Structure 1
Amino acid sequence: MTRTTHLQELLRVLRHHQGPIGGPELARALGVTLRHLYQDIAVLRAVGVEVVNEPGRGYVLPPEVKLPPAALAEPAPVAGAQDEPAPLIFYTNPLSRGGIVHWMLEELGATYRMVTLEYGAAMKTPEYLAINPLGKVPAIRHGETVVTEAAAICAYLADAFPEAGLAPPSAARGDYYRWLFLAAGPLESAIALNDLGVAPTAEQAMRLGSGDYWTLVETLAAAVAGRPYIAGDAFSAADVYVGSHIGWGMQFGTLPRRPEFEAYWAGLRERPAHRRCEAHIEQVLAR
């Protein structure tokens, strides 16, 4: 059964059921797991079908909801036609690491639907916890594939949309993977510890795996010194991720304003895709 068929069957059951239906009962009626049901409901809400969860009673589809939405229409097969691209849903909050993924999506030029979640209860609903059990953003759902963690999302999207050219050829990905995941692991950990005023001993730093904060700063500065991009001669997803951390770090004081960082970030921040993301945040803050 295709994803579209799953969603249409879910809508049919909700439309014809008398009154609310509990999650476990609905999952049994559809022959899916409860986690799969929650994910499908999250997708429906993301495309504008507001399935209501009445506390203590279950799910109900309000009669005023129009069905089926265009996004869920099952197209008739056409000889020789290419498959429709898998829908891409982006769960975020503008004041989060979701900004990294937003920049990546804008660089791709891909069609996506943004779902903004407020901190707190909205990130802890069963439907969203089925997308990310940690109850945090960002996350994406691309067709049937769910990816969380900003670095993983960037790496996934670069591979899922190869025409955008945001990942080097497979044989030339050493620096790409190295700096992408150094920033996601040791650098983030060291920055967080330093920001909290925690100074691990040499033994503790070794056990943490993040190493010494200032050693990481020196290492990253050397990696971008005199270079417009961190992983070769072309802009890549690694620049989206590392650049975001350097830009934010200098803005909020968690990284020093070293000349190497300033020059590297100056070459990235004016990219049109990044400027669009900044404009979005400014609009949200203005509201």
Structure 2
Amino acid sequence: MPRTSRLQDLIRMLRHHAEPIGGPELAERLGVTLRTLYQDIAALRAVGVEVVNAPGQGYVLPPEVTLPPATLAEPAPLEPAELTFYTNPLSRGGIVHWMLEELGVPYRTVTLEYGTTMKSPDYLALNPMGKVPAIRHGDVVVTEAAAICTYLADAFPEAGLAPPPAARGDYYRWLFFAAGPLEAALALTTLGVQPTVEQQRQLGCGDYWTVIETLAGVLEGRAYIAGTAFSAADVYVGTHLGWGMHFGTLPRRPEFVAYWEGLRQRPAHQRCEAYMAQVLAEA
């Protein structure tokens, strides 16, 4: 079906639906994929038709919105924004590398070296911390692995790496649990720091073993950490568990082992492991 006809059908559907309607249901009624629906909504917004996404409810077209007929002309195709990945193979960039491979979109890799190019004026202008990973997507710059994974899942919804907005409680909770309490507890333990009970009250991570038991409890019997489907949260949590068990900073709990073994078999992760093996062989 031509895009003009699809846009007209989309507007007609929203006009006759007083309450917000969820993306999956809307796509099914229109007979299109979710990816096509997102593209069509973006096309309407680009010409001034503000389709509103009511958080946790769905899409709605406000009654005051008017649509000049000329705005439904077939839009010219947009050039996709270039996606550049700044990394070093021996860094947390491995998390983002896996995420990018799961997306299946084109990207350009820029490898930086510790102490030299990572601290160059050009890169410091991008990330004043002088560390990796970072991405540039068009004019957007994102640093910090958890933030990058979250951004990419939203920037490329067709990959299905984030749950629907109304079902993102566990997704956000455990992704940032790993970025916060888990990373902090692992860092303190690796440095040989054992906080007192009083100090634990001041730390976001509290006690190392409480963090471990909490994570083991949520993963028991689960293939994925945020519901029944693989998501960006699994990329982030899974990588930390894989690294932690490999380097001995995390115990090989049966819950961790079962979860990680399921994730590491994914083709995207296998490609990342093959790349790392080649890098280490050439080092």
TM above 0.5, yes or no, is yes
In the aligned structure 2, how far is the partner of 1:91 from the partner of 1:216? 31
- Aligned residue runs from structure 1 range 70-81, under 5 A: 80-81=75-76
1:117 paired to 2:112 = yes
1:215 paired to 2:210 = yes
In the aligned structure 1, how far is the partner of 2:115 from the partner of 2:274? 25
Give 1:178's aligned residue.
Answer: 173
1:94 paired to 2:93 = no
The correspondence for 1:254, drawn from 249, 260, 266, is 249
In the aligned structure 2, how far is the partner of 1:96 from the partner of 1:266? 21
In the aligned structure 1, how far is the partner of 2:111 from the partner of 2:100? 15
Give 1:279's aligned residue.
Answer: 274
Give the secondary-structure state (helix, strand or coil) at the position aligned to 1:218: helix
Which deviates more, 276-285 or 79-88? 79-88
Give 1:145's aligned residue.
Answer: 140
Give the secondary-structure state (helix, strand or coil) at the position aligned to 2:126: coil
Gaps of 5+ in 2: 1-73
User: What is the TM-score with the length of structure 2 in the denominator?
Assistant: 0.73
- Counterpart of 2:141, as a letter, is V
Give 1:234's aligned residue.
Answer: 229
Gaps of 5+ in 1: 1-78
- Counterpart of 2:190, as a letter, is D
Give the secondary-structure state (helix, strand or coil) at the position aligned to 2:84: strand
Give 2:13's aligned residue.
Answer: none
In the aligned structure 2, how far is the partner of 1:278 from the partner of 1:120? 25
Runs (4 or more) in structure 1 with deviation over 3 Å come to none
In the aligned structure 1, how far is the partner of 2:254 from the partner of 2:156? 34
**1:9-35 deviation line (CA, Å, top 9, x unaligned):** xxxxxxxxxxxxxxxxxxxxxxxxxxx
Give 1:133's aligned residue.
Answer: 128
**1:98-148 deviation line (CA, Å, top 9, x unaligned):** 000000000000110000111111111110001110000000000000000
- Counterpart of 1:174, as a letter, is G
**1:223-253 deviation line (CA, Å, top 9, x unaligned):** 1110000000000000000000000000000
**1:73-100 deviation line (CA, Å, top 9, x unaligned):** xxxxxx7431011000000000100000
- Aligned residue runs from structure 1 range 60-75, under 5 A: none
- Aligned residue runs from structure 1 range 158-173, under 5 A: 158-173=153-168
In the aligned structure 2, how far is the partner of 1:173 from the partner of 1:262? 25
1:188 paired to 2:163 = no
**1:44-77 deviation line (CA, Å, top 9, x unaligned):** xxxxxxxxxxxxxxxxxxxxxxxxxxxxxxxxxx
Aligned length: 209
Give the secondary-structure state (helix, strand or coil) at the position aligned to 2:91: coil
Query: Percent identity among equivalent residues?
Result: 77
In the aligned structure 1, how far is the partner of 2:198 from the partner of 2:83? 44
Q: CA deviation at 1:197?
A: 1.1
Give 1:225's aligned residue.
Answer: 220
In the aligned structure 2, how far is the partner of 1:168 from the partner of 1:115? 30
